[in-house]
């Protein structure tokens, strides 16, 4: 039987405002700007107020990138939690299920540079045996990461007119999050493992999770994403849950040929963490999706008051959305619990 904790709230309709003009996430006093609450198809929200000078200890800033190729999966995280910088680089060889990885928790946070808003500058992180540099272009990002025995240098491009899902999630005037989930982005470049170069070929896809906000100490979430071509359509999947429950906002949508179809209801997630490689089911708002994992990237960390546990499963999505069937969409689904 599925773990009861894995079930999201039942789907129910709710209204979400669409943002169409630039807006600041915070007001002059540092509290949430009510005018920023809603979703957008482009990154319209100015997050320069999340700078660590107010509400110290609750500010969370991060960039997460994941790239799936036919032969490899790579991921990187650059983050600042005010009191600590937490970074990771991970490279996974799909055929042999070998991995190369390095994580770093730097206390107090230092040697990390995150721009005030998405794309307004480079992202740089340095720690022992780890270096990350993310460089924005007009319609692209260059992702470079290096750890002992492995590195990657990948360019992610944004097709003309491609839409993302940007959402402001309000828990209260003091606790809120702005997230940009950008899926189905073409990627190309090279992965180097133990001196051997592996190309990132056509058919490789990237996803971005950009976050700026002030979180409660104890947080749980689901996140799922995927990308691929089914027939003549490019499909991007973006689904989430738990952390948005009760806020009136969701981070759910399907991107079809670059156009976002927003799902403005909470989704129901069904899975069993005791058997994470069994199929997961996500449904609601016209979406009926099954995710079949082939690998669970499980990680845990405990440093006194700071702890985390993640099951991030990689696999294949299939199902139906608003009468459109899809299959063979590679991606991931995760269950996370953080105390941070």
DSSP per position, 79-106: EE-SS-EEEEEEEEETTTTEEEEEEEEE
Judgement on whether residues 293 and 148 belong to the same structural domain of the protein? no
Whether 54 shows a pLDDT value over 90: the answer reads: no
Q: What was the pLDDT predicted at 302? A: 87
- CA separation (Å) from 38 to 14, 35, 41, 166, 300? 12, 8, 11, 8, 32
pLDDT in tens, 283-300: 999 999 999 999 999 999
Region 301-313: mean pLDDT is 89
Judgement on whether residues 83 and 136 belong to the same structural domain of the protein? yes
Judgement on whether residues 130 and 23 belong to the same structural domain of the protein? yes
What is the domain-level CATH number for residue 228? 2.40.370
Residue 130's domain comprises 17-216
Judge if pTM exceeds 0.85: yes
Judgement on whether residues 140 and 234 belong to the same structural domain of the protein? no
**Neighbouring residues of 261: CB distance < 8 A, sequence distance ≥ 6:** 253, 254, 255, 321, 322
Residue where one domain finishes, among candidates 188, 216, 244: 216
**For residues 258 and 4, is the Cβ–Cβ distance under 8 A?**
no
Whether 304 shows a pLDDT value over 90: the answer reads: no
Mean pLDDT, all residues of the chain: 94
Query: What is the rounded CA–CA span in Å between residue 321 and residue 283?
Result: 9
Whether 338 shows a pLDDT value over 70: the answer reads: yes
Q: DSSP state, 280?
A: E
Q: Please calculate the CA angle 313-317-319 and round it to the nearest 5 degrees.
A: 145
Whether 202 shows a pLDDT value over 80: the answer reads: yes
- CA separation (Å) from 326 to 262, 267, 287? 17, 18, 11
Top pLDDT among 2 and 73 is at 73
Whether 8 shows a pLDDT value over 80: the answer reads: no
Region 59-63: mean pLDDT is 96
**For residues 130 and 104, is the Cβ–Cβ distance under 8 A?**
yes
Region 89-96: mean pLDDT is 98
Whether 116 shows a pLDDT value over 50: the answer reads: yes
Of 282, 317, 244, 338, the C-alpha closest to 2 is 282
Q: What was the pLDDT predicted at 83? A: 87
Phi-psi region of 174 (alpha: psi -120 to 50; beta: other; left: phi over 0): alpha
- CA separation (Å) from 325 to 78, 237, 250? 36, 13, 23
Judgement on whether residues 245 and 204 belong to the same structural domain of the protein? no
pLDDT in tens, 123-170: 999 999 999 999 999 999 999 999 999 999 999 999 999 999 999 999
Judgement on whether residues 120 and 258 belong to the same structural domain of the protein? no
Q: DSSP state, 9?
A: P
Judgement on whether residues 121 and 221 belong to the same structural domain of the protein? no
Judgement on whether residues 232 and 322 belong to the same structural domain of the protein? yes
φ, ψ of residue 233 to 5 degrees: the values are -110, 140
Region 193-216: mean pLDDT is 97
Query: What is the rounded CA–CA span in Å between residue 196 and residue 152?
Result: 11
Q: What was the pLDDT predicted at 13? A: 53
Q: What was the pLDDT predicted at 239? A: 98
Whether 318 shows a pLDDT value over 70: the answer reads: yes
Judgement on whether residues 136 and 49 belong to the same structural domain of the protein? yes
Whether 4 shows a pLDDT value over 50: the answer reads: no
Judgement on whether residues 68 and 205 belong to the same structural domain of the protein? yes
Determine the 3-state secondary structure of 25 from DSSP.
Answer: coil
Residue where one domain finishes, among candidates 216, 244, 263: 216
Residue where one domain finishes, among candidates 156, 181, 216: 216
Whether 306 shows a pLDDT value over 90: the answer reads: no
Q: Please calculate the CA angle 242-245-248 and round it to the nearest 5 degrees.
A: 145
Query: What is the rounded CA–CA span in Å between residue 206 and residue 215?
Result: 26
**Neighbouring residues of 182: CB distance < 8 A, sequence distance ≥ 6:** 158, 164, 165, 207, 208, 210
Q: DSSP state, 152?
A: E
Whether 5 shows a pLDDT value over 70: the answer reads: no
Prior bond of 315 cis (ω within 30°): no
Percentage, residues of the chain above pLDDT 70: 96
Judgement on whether residues 180 and 207 belong to the same structural domain of the protein? yes
Query: What is the rounded CA–CA span in Å between residue 98 and residue 95?
Result: 8
Percentage, residues of the chain above pLDDT 90: 89
Judgement on whether residues 92 and 202 belong to the same structural domain of the protein? yes
State the total domains in the chain. Answer: 2
Region 268-296: mean pLDDT is 98
């Amino acid at each position: 039987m599925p773990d009861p904790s894995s079930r999201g709230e039942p789907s129910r309709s709710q209204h979400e405002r669409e943002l169409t003009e630039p807006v600041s996430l915070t007001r002059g006093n540092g509290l949430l700007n009510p005018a920023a609450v809603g979703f957008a198809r482009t990154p319209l929200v100015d997050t320069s107020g999340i700078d660590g000078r107010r509400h110290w200890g609750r500010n969370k800033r991060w960039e997460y990138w994941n790239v799936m190729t036919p032969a490899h999966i790579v991921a990187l995280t650059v983050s600042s939690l005010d009191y600590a910088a937490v970074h990771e680089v991970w490279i996974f060889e799909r055929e042999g299920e070998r991995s190369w990885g390095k994580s770093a928790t730097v206390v107090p946070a230092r040697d990390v540079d995150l721009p005030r808003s998405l794309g307004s500058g480079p992202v740089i992180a340095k720690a022992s045996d780890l270096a990350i540099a993310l460089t924005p272009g007009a319609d692209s990002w260059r992702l470079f990461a290096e750890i002992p025995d492995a590195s990657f240098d990948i360019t992610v491009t944004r097709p003309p007119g491609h839409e993302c899902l940007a959402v402001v999630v309000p828990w209260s005037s003091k606790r809120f999050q702005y997230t940009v989930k950008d899926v189905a982005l073409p990627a190309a470049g090279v992965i180097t493992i133990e001196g051997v170069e592996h190309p990132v070929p056509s058919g490789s896809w990237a996803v971005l999770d950009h976050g700026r906000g002030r979180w409660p100490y104890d947080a749980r979430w689901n996140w799922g994403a995927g990308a691929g071509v089914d027939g003549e359509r490019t499909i991007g999947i973006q689904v989430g849950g738990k952390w948005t429950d009760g806020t009136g906002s969701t981070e759910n949508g399907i991107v079809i040929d670059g156009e976002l179809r927003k799902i403005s209801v909470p989704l129901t997630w069904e899975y069993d963490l005791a058997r994470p490689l069994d199929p997961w089911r996500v449904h609601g708002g016209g979406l009926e999706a099954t995710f079949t994992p082939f690998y669970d990237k499980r990680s845990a960390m405990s440093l006194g008051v700071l702890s985390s546990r993640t099951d991030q499963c990689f696999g294949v999505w299939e199902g139906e959305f608003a009468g459109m069937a899809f299959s063979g969409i590679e991606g991931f689904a995760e269950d996370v619990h953080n105390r941070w």
